[in-house]
Structure 1
């Protein structure tokens, strides 16, 4: 009888141990996070990867970081980077939580196309679009460059390595029958590009950024800046082949221009890691779009919640989608 009681007690003890072990394992698994919007833990720190100091992403990112920190209590910092393509890979690698990107580059990343071929970025979603990013082909009056065809044989910067500007440059040159082999390609940041134009080491540069762009404004203080125009027929051809472009212009008066320069634009957007929960991304989205009056950069006036759901090119994060739908704006 005693032997039977001992066996029964042993079985019950083993069963209890297994239950306790299972509970412990469940806790560890829960802390590991999940798929899109599944995590519930609020991070203590977040990074926003932006672009070079001479562009628009960096100063906007600084404003957003301050707004998010104040509104959510999450210590948020804006970091200098090589911009769009590099930023998408940074999110993929888990080295940042929020990133600026061009809409076309975010789409390439999700689909594994062009510079992301064989290395798709599948762990990100959109917070929303922000403003048009104008493709500016920058040079000076003394260069003698007046048309895109004049770029042949010239030293031309197509943007920092890893930036989306390079793809824009290649596509615009392509519709004009020009390849990268036809120019003396330079891979420079916006600041480096305008410094190179100023000191004569390069002739022109592609700059994809909101206007006015800080680096180009700096150049206009000492040089007669020229924005090389794109002819209407080529604009139409470009948009037909690459539908994420829209017609745009650099207005007269910008950089002391005597008249507007016709060109094209993509859109700037904010992209977020899917590791962030729906609640956190909701709070981040709400913080940004309800505190735009605190953004000091001129582009802050162009950012509107009703436009943020248009043309993202990738799916909205559930947290962002929830916020915009509460405001009555549905993704197109």
Structure 2
């Protein structure tokens, strides 16, 4: 009888544990985030968000590869399950500009999208062969250029920069739409292109995986502040530095370049369950921000937990904005030391000193 009772007790316990696990699994939400190629920075940022933000918020966040920002905007708008996207600022602005100019498709895509927060600056790499006679970014005019894959933010950045610097579009016969990996092969093996433009936050896996011998095959062009083309590029993009510390195995000197801002983007959802889940994600983002900076990609150390004013046409997603601003305010209040009252100049008593009421 005792044995039967023990077996029944064990079965009941197992049933309870399985049932609890099933309830717990059902209570979690499955969402997706679109990033970029597997060797880029975006996909690592997405994985960090999945581990340190989504998981504590009871959200299973699937990190998806993509061609980059332009594709991400479309997938964010139309692909089921995609609730988050990483997008370059110039790509987002280009969609807004197209919509303003009367492009109905661009308007349909971009108007319902909303920002969660700005992230970091992504460096723009202008890569050429080590034996190339050109050394500066403004020398790429009339060269054969790999501008990034079709649908990528890199492709738009490449063409926008070329137009800004030289006052004319990049000739179609000089542009090749290639992935980063394909571009490096065409550059160094086939030698059918002169320059590969790659946008990635440093340290980017594509470059950090390179061996010391890489310097025998490629080099990165420098930004020349004295060139008039540079001044024109700076109307939209910002100066930055590719550091030797990011690629110590093969880079021998810091290299000045340009950057573009990355944003975390969502949609203007109204369904109550989605609103609640994304608000919970925002709270987790704020509460676990220190873990992102401590354990995530080094780029997180450049991210500020703040919501700055936005350009015309850009809007934050209100439910997440509300949650983030409240959390940021609480964190700021907690970090502000209590004021110390003014007292006549006299030595502190031990008790006053311990209580922080005066200083010795």
Q: Which residue of 2 aligns with 1:282?
A: 279
TM-score (norm 1): 0.75
Q: Which stretch shows the higher mean deviation, 68-77 or 214-223?
A: 214-223
Deviation at 1:220, TM superposition (A): 5.5
**Could you tell me how far apart the structure 2 residues matched to 1:208 and 1:44 are?**
32
Q: Counterpart in 2 of 1:70? A: 55
Post-superposition Cα deviations, 1:13-42, rounded to whole Å, max 9, x if no partner, equal xxxxxxxxxxxxxxxxxxxxxxxxxxxxx9
Q: Whole-Å Cα distance in 2 between the matches of residues 125 and 115 of structure 1?
A: 20
Aligned with residue 187 of structure 1, among 177, 186, 210: 177
Question: Does 1:296 find its partner at 2:286?
Answer: no
Look up the SS of the partner of 2:214 in the other structure. Answer: coil
After superposition, the C-alpha distances for 1:200-257 in whole angstroms (9 at most, x for unaligned) are 44332111121122112334643214221222243332233x3xx2222223444343
Decide whether aligned partners of structure 1 residues 228 and 48 sit closer, same or farther in structure 2, where only a CA change above 3 A counts.
same
Q: Any idea what SS the aligned residue of 2:37 has? A: coil
Q: Deviations over 1:169-197 (max 9, x none)?
A: 12222243264217631111223223433
- Give 1:249's aligned residue: 241
Q: Tell me if structure 1 keeps the 8 A contact 2:239–2:258.
A: yes
2:264 maps to 1:270: yes
Q: How large is the Cα RMSD of the aligned pairs?
A: 2.8
Q: In the TM superposition, what whole-angstrom CA distance separates every residue of 1:74-100 from its partner, at most 9, and x where no partner exists?
A: 221000001111110111214311000
Match of 2:43 in 1: 58
Cα 1:311/1:196, change in 2 over 3 Å: farther
Q: Does 1:210 find its partner at 2:209?
A: no
1:199 to 189, 194, 207: 189
Aligned to 2:308: 309
Structure 1, unaligned runs of 5 or more: 1-41
SS in 2 for 1:222: helix
Aligned 8 A contact 2:286 2:324 in 1: no
1:171 aligns with 2:160: yes
**Inter-partner Cα distance in structure 2 for 1:143 and 1:71:** 50
Matched, 1:104 2:104: no
Against the structure 1 CA distance between its residues 322 and 165, is the aligned structure 2 distance closer, same or farther, given a 3 Å change threshold? same
Alignment pair present for 1:258 and 2:244 = no
Give, in angstroms, the shift of residue 269 of structure 1.
0.8
The 2-side partners of 1:61 and 1:194 are apart by 25
Q: Cα gap change, 1:114/1:137 in structure 2, threshold over 3 Å: closer, same or farther?
A: farther
| 8 Å Cα contact 1:253-1:259 kept in structure 2 | no
> In the alignment, which residue of structure 2 is the partner of 1:223?
214
Q: TM-score, normalised on structure 2?
A: 0.70
Q: How many residues align?
A: 284
Change (3 A) 1:182 1:112: closer
CA pair 316-187 structure 1, distance change in 2 beyond 3 A = same
Tell me which of the two structures has the higher relative contact order, counting C-alpha pairs closer than 8 angstroms and 6 or more residues apart.
1
SS of aligned partner of 1:133: strand
* In structure 1, distance between residues paired with 2:38 and 2:223: 27
Distance 1:43 1:249, change over 3 A: same
The answer on whether the counterparts of 1:246 and 1:265 sit within 8 Å (CA) in structure 2 is: yes
2:70 aligns with: 85
Measured against aligned partners, the alpha-carbon deviations of 1:23-78 in whole angstroms (never above 9, x if no partner) come to xxxxxxxxxxxxxxxxxxx9831110000111100111112122344212122100
Q: 2:134 aligns with which of 145, 153, 158?
A: 145
